[in-house]
Amino acid sequence: MRALAILLLSSLSLISLPTHAAGLRFALVKTAETETRDAFTIEDGAWGEKVIANHVAVLIEHHAATLLLDTSLGRQVDQQFDAEMPWWDKPLLQYGTVTPVRDQIERDGIRIDRILLTHTHWDHASGLADFPEVPVWAPYEEIEFSQISTPPAVLPSQFKHPIKWVPFTFAAHPFMGFEQSHDLFGDGSLVLVPLTGHTPGSVGLFLTLDDGRRFFFTGDASWRLEGFTGPKEKFWISRRMVDNDREGTRAQLEKVHQLLQREPNLQVIPAHDEAVQRKLGYYPQWVE
Ligand SMILES: [Zn+2]
């Protein structure tokens, strides 16, 4: 009887082995940083205060696949930028020295199975050309946006190679205050939600580690965590330049603001917020 119980227990533990996200971890792969002014990144910011804006991609290892959320600045960013960025936008969009994602991870033999894009703006899609063999997941609306939008937001040269698009739609499954979601592996560890506004198909990604710590990658809905805690919009010149739909973006700031009231332990990670990202460290350092 006891042997049977042990057998049962051990088979139960076998069954529960592939549970959610065994070994799930992520790393912020920083490709570049730029010094800018607090006031340029957020409404009511200080002109005298310098802040760093980061360019990162998020490397995610799930037991089923290795993913890259955004591609950040890639090997061809200088050619892309020089050829297509209007001269009057160039001074505001400088990015410093670049270490592309592919250069960093290839040294360690890491292969990407799938790319997810928070949105298709140039500084998130630049590295797509470095991974032509990898399927790229995005909502239909965002794939369409990448095909019709123009500089400075989207640089068409970044989409001229054959891209293995995998369009997806959201299901009517509420998650963390969002009415729709897309659970990537059906285990709740990686869940996409729509963040429409900054672009028509912007998405956010919730990542939940085994121990319950939960992170929310919010793309460019806000460049700063203060945009959600405020909530506060971007500086007006910046938002006119980059936010496709002001009201939509504002609604997302409000939604995440409410979420943070209910879930104060949730770690929100805007794509460019160096102060938030520095605390997590950068690849090859992992958050696990
Ligand atoms: Zn953007």
Whether 285 is in a domain gets the answer: no
User: Which has the higher per-residue pLDDT, 78 or 9?
Assistant: 78
**Does residue 7 sit within a domain?**
no
Nearest to 124, CA basis, from 133, 114, 115? 115
Please check the confidence at residue 12 and state whether its pLDDT lies above 60.
no
Number of neighbouring beta carbons within 10 Å of residue 170: 16
Distance 269 CA to ligand 1 centre (A): 14
* Residue 258 falls inside a structural domain: yes
40 pLDDT exceeds 80?
yes
**Strand positions, DSSP E, the chain:** 25-37, 50-62, 65-69, 114-116, 136-139, 165-168, 182-183, 190-194, 203-208, 214-217, 267-269
Q: Tell me whether residue 89 is in a domain.
A: yes
Give a yes or no: residue 180 inside a domain: yes
Residue 136 alpha carbon to ligand 1 centre in Å: 17
How many CB atoms neighbour CB 267 within 10 A? Answer: 16
- pLDDT for 4 beyond 80: no
The pLDDT tens digits for 123-177 are 999 999 999 999 999 999 999 999 999 999 999 999 999 999 999 999 999 999 9
Angle, vertex CA 94, rays to CA 30 and CA 29, nearest 5? 5
pLDDT of residue 192: 98
Where in the sequence is the domain holding 170, given as residue range(s)?
21-278
Lowest mean pLDDT among 6-15, 183-192, 261-270: 6-15
Torsion angle, alpha carbons of 267, 32, 136, 271, to 10: 30
Write the pLDDT tens digit of every residue in 206-245: 999 999 999 999 999 999 999 999 999 999 988 998 999 9
For ligand 1, a single-atom ion, the residues with CB < 5 A are: 121, 220
* Dist. CA 184–CA 269, nearest whole Å: 19
Structural domain contains residue 12: no
CA of residue 222 to ligand 1 center, whole Å = 9
What does pLDDT average to over the chain? Answer: 92
State yes or no: pLDDT of 19 exceeds 60. Answer: no
Q: Which CATH number covers residue 159?
A: 3.60.15.10
CA of 147 to the centre of ligand 1 (A): 15
Residue 175 CA, ligand 1 centroid: distance in Å: 24
CA distances from 270 to 54, 56, 101, 263, 276 (A): 10, 10, 18, 17, 8
Evaluate whether residue 9 is within a structural domain: no
The reported pLDDT for the residue numbered 7 is 45
Residue 3 lies in a domain: no
- The number of distinct structural domains making up the chain is 1
Q: What pLDDT, on a 0 to 100 scale, did the predictor assign at position 1?
A: 47
Q: Are 198 and 221 in contact (CB under 8 A)?
A: yes
CA of 121 to the centre of ligand 1 (A): 5
Q: Which residue has the tokens 């909530």?
A: 231
Q: What is the mean pLDDT of residues 265-269?
A: 98
Cα 231 to middle of ligand 1, angstroms: 18
Alpha helix (H) ranges present in 107-164? 122-125, 140-148
Confidence of residue 11 (pLDDT cuts 50, 70, 90): very low
Distance 119 CA to ligand 1 centre (A): 7
